[in-house]
Structure 1
């Protein structure tokens, strides 16, 4: 698995924390120093924590489970969406709807409604409705897609939640904690890391920093998915080889029995 290097993180500005007066004392173990009133994150700690997080994320992906990514802050939205789409993992980059995890059954109902509207369009049912009814369904579909479109394939509770900003996504973190879902997060010096299982101390405001961390994280997930695919193919090959061998040996055994 590819590792993040100290210099890569330094070039991306991952080490820049918040103003000293805005710091959270629980982030003290991850702070290297203070410079001109700004806390500097210890990148050696970031490298170590990132390695641990990536190893865990890779294993989750390899096992075929889902990781839900949450990043609704302006500077993280496009970055996260662009990098997560190829992994086919669910993500939320618009508004986090309260109860998305703790009231997952209701969310699934909303997604099923969105799917049923799509089916109505495919089988021609929509054409039989009035213009007003079609417009209402179209608006409902657009609203549902905005809120739940990126998690439409999440048929069951995610095995982990990854957030970019702990303060911004505190509701998502709280829901994951309540359900004992492992949490991964980029945690800046102004945030509380105590409710995060896998803390990645990093600048969660700069786009370069977010992009660098996401590149490394998604790289680990893609490795896990690739290994899962290879394992499946090897299992399939072994099964086909066994079936071929049995099919070849069967006539021979029958002939020997006749003798």
Structure 2
């Protein structure tokens, strides 16, 4: 796992918090000082928290569970889509669909609907519809794709949630809390860190800061996925070897016995 450099966090502007009057007192332990009416985050504490989060995410990825990324704010959505997509993890960057976790069965039905429209297009059923019906189906498919396309491979509830801006994504946070899904998050000085299980005290408003943090955590996820792949390959190899050796031995063992009996 890559070492978190405080200098790099500083260059990415991770240390800039919110205006002091907008602060949440529960973030006090992570605030270094106040400058020009803005709280400055203690980057040494941020670096330690990133390492802690990265290690936990590495383990979750290695266990085969998915990590759902949530960021609907303008500065973060494209970065999250790119970084989460690169490590094959689901993400929500449009509006959070209410009940996404607490009513997962319904969400899965919508995803299946999307798959059935795709099948219609492949097998030619789609072409037999009237022009108006085709237009309606296309619109429905586009809407589903926009809201749920990035989670179409998520067949079960995620092993964890990674959130950028917990105040904005409070509905997602509440749903994860209800289901005891671990929450990882970039938490700014205006938010309550008690809402999440793994917090990363950081500037959640600047795209450079979001990019930096996301790069580190998705790199840890990628390591976890590679570890899982390597373990499975090793397991498959061990299973394959005895099978190949077993046959000749059993044949040799059986042959002499049957000859003596005759």
* Pairwise same-fold verdict (TM > 0.5): yes
Other structure's SS at 2:65 match: coil
Match of 1:201 in 2: 201
Q: 1:80-114: per-residue Cα shift (whole Å, max 9, x none)?
A: 11111121111001111111111111111111111
Structure 2 distance, partners of 1:253, 1:83, is: 57
Q: How many residue pairs get matched?
A: 259
CA shift, 1:254, in A, is: 2.4
Other structure's SS at 1:191 match: coil
Structure 2 distance, partners of 1:201, 1:116, is: 43
Match of 1:142 in 2: 142
Matches within 5 A, 1:47-196: 47-196=47-196
1:251/1:72 CA distance change after superposition, 3 Å: same
Structure 2 distance, partners of 1:3, 1:170, is: 31
Structure 1 distance, partners of 2:52, 2:252, is: 54
RMSD: 1.0
Structure 1 distance, partners of 2:29, 2:221, is: 27
Structure 2 distance, partners of 1:142, 1:81, is: 17
Structure 2 distance, partners of 1:192, 1:40, is: 16
Other structure's SS at 1:189 match: coil
Structure 2 distance, partners of 1:14, 1:129, is: 53
Q: Which runs of 5+ in 1 are unaligned?
A: none
CA shift, 1:3, in A, is: 2.1
Structure 2 distance, partners of 1:104, 1:244, is: 44
Other structure's SS at 2:32 match: strand
CA shift, 1:256, in A, is: 3.9
Other structure's SS at 1:162 match: strand
Q: Which runs of 5+ in 2 are unaligned?
A: none
Other structure's SS at 1:203 match: coil
Other structure's SS at 2:157 match: coil
